[in-house]
Amino acid sequence: MDRCWLIIDQIEQSHDMIVKDETSYYRMALLLLDNAVEVLMYRTIQNELQYSEWYSTLANNVKGLPQNDEIKKIHDDIHPKIISPKRKKQILKYFDEKTKFLSEERYYVERPIARVLRIIHRYRNELYHRDVIRKEIIRPIVYLSYEIACDLLSKLKPGSYRLLDDQQTRIRITKYRVESGFDFARNGIFSIAEQLKNKLLIELSDLKTQLVEHLNDRIENFESNLDFLMTDGFHITSQEEALRQVQFFENWKKVAHERHPHFQHDLNTYVSKYNMNSIETWKESVARLQEHASKLALIDGFAQVEETFEELESLVTNAAIDLDGYIQSEVDRLRGK
């Protein structure tokens, strides 16, 4: 039971950080919540692995019995419950595989929640491994992460609890106004999870506003960079052509060590992956986010738009930065610097 209180304490600590309403505290809260979720999944998976071992032993015993229709049916019922060594290794090693196992193979977690957990974990990895903090959206992301962690606290419960009869446990039981007997595993954890969740909720309308405004701002900035490249870089009069040339030169850089006797022909005939219709499609997708009736569907839709947009956004942003740097170096050169 001490392990359960550790997760509860972790969620409480993340709450205390979130309400400080500062990016640095959002960052730490997201790390805490992501870890809490992974630990909850891991503990549930450990139970399933124990069941798998039991079923594997049973299957081996069944093999030694005289075969008939009844024995075959028992074997067929047992087989899907056995986790192969390869699958076990994947589940224990990778976060995404944990979510897929618990939502697609064992049904502890709804699939929309599993998809959103993978999205949040991707943001966590950017933050933890690459020092990328998405300041514009970290607040709604961490609020939703907190809500999901509270839900999973009540859903991903071990098979049984043993409450220690010590002062610290009695203080916690009193704090959350729950029973300490056998009812704790069935209703106590659920009550605590609901109390924690109700302390910190983000409304769907607020979530929509923040995420939609963020994507619209990024698309607007993207088009501004495209205009800059069009007028100051390529000296052309079409955003469409500027967009095409950005993608051409990105591909060209990858093989810049090779000779290009037909460079102009290649440029003129190049067919790009993205065009201005792609931008309009993204704008329409952003507008449709307003139609989502659940937070999970909203985050899922948001992440899909963001993921498909970021490749081209990065290309255009980097090209604009390079052009700005080149222009500034030329200005400095003409000034004799």
Domain's final residue, options 150, 173, 201: 201
Q: What is the pLDDT along the chain (337 residues), one digit of tens a residue?
A: 567 888 999 999 999 999 999 999 999 999 999 999 999 999 999 999 999 999 888 888 877 777 777 777 777 788 888 999 999 999 999 999 999 999 999 989 999 999 999 999 999 999 999 888 889 899 999 999 999 999 999 888 655 555 566 777 777 777 887 776 656 666 788 888 899 999 998 999 999 999 999 999 999 999 999 898 888 876 777 888 888 888 888 877 655 445 556 777 878 888 888 999 999 999 999 999 999 999 999 999 999 898 889 889 998 998 888 888 888 887 777 887 6
Domain identity same for 140 and 173: yes
Residues 317 and 173 reside in one and the same domain? no
Same domain, 239 and 191: no
Which residue among 201, 222, 251 closes a domain? 201
Q: Cα separation of 82 and 60, whole Å?
A: 11
Q: How far is CA 276 from CA 16, 129, 170, 222, 232, in A?
A: 45, 34, 63, 12, 19
Crossing angle for the helix pair 189-198 and 138-155, to the nearest 10 degrees: 170
Using CA atoms in the order 217, 222, 224, 226, what is the torsion angle rounded to 10 degrees? -170
CA 87 to chain centroid: 22
CA distance 162 to 182: 9
Tokens of 83: 């986790």
Which pLDDT does position 61 carry in this prediction?
A: 81
Give the distance between the most distant pair of CA atoms in the chain. 94
Among the candidates 176, 201, 226, a domain finishes at 201
Reported pTM: 0.81
| Three-class secondary structure of residue 82 per DSSP | coil
- 188 and 249 share a domain? no
Amino acid type, 10: Q
Does 179 share its domain with 256? no
pLDDT of residue 162: 58
Domain that holds residue 312: 205-334
Cα 208 to Cα 122: distance, rounded to the nearest angstrom: 20
Measure the CA–CA gap between 37 and 73, rounded to whole angstroms. 37
Which DSSP string do the residues of 269-292 spell out, in sequence order? H---S--HHHHHHHHHHHHHGGG-
Indicate if 110 and 240 belong to the same structural domain.
Answer: no
Whether residue 186 sits in one domain with residue 63: yes
The Cα 14–Cα 26 span in angstroms is: 8
Q: Output DSSP code: residue 81.
A: G
* Distances in whole angstroms, Cα of residue 332 to Cα of each of 3, 6, 235, 320, 327: 62, 59, 22, 18, 9
Residues 19 and 110 in one domain: yes
Whether 69 and 107 map to the same domain: the answer is: yes
**Together in a domain, 57 and 77:** yes
What span, in angstroms and rounded, lies between the C-alpha atoms of 34 and 141? Answer: 11
Measure the CA–CA gap between 233 and 12, rounded to whole angstroms: 52
CA distances from 34 to 116, 123, 144, 145, 195 (A): 12, 10, 11, 8, 20
In this prediction, residue 257 carries a pLDDT of 46
Give first-to-last CA distance, the chain, whole Å: 69
Structural domains in the chain (count): 2
Whether residue 156 is found in the same domain as residue 227 = no
pLDDT at 180: 65
> 152 and 21 in one domain?
yes
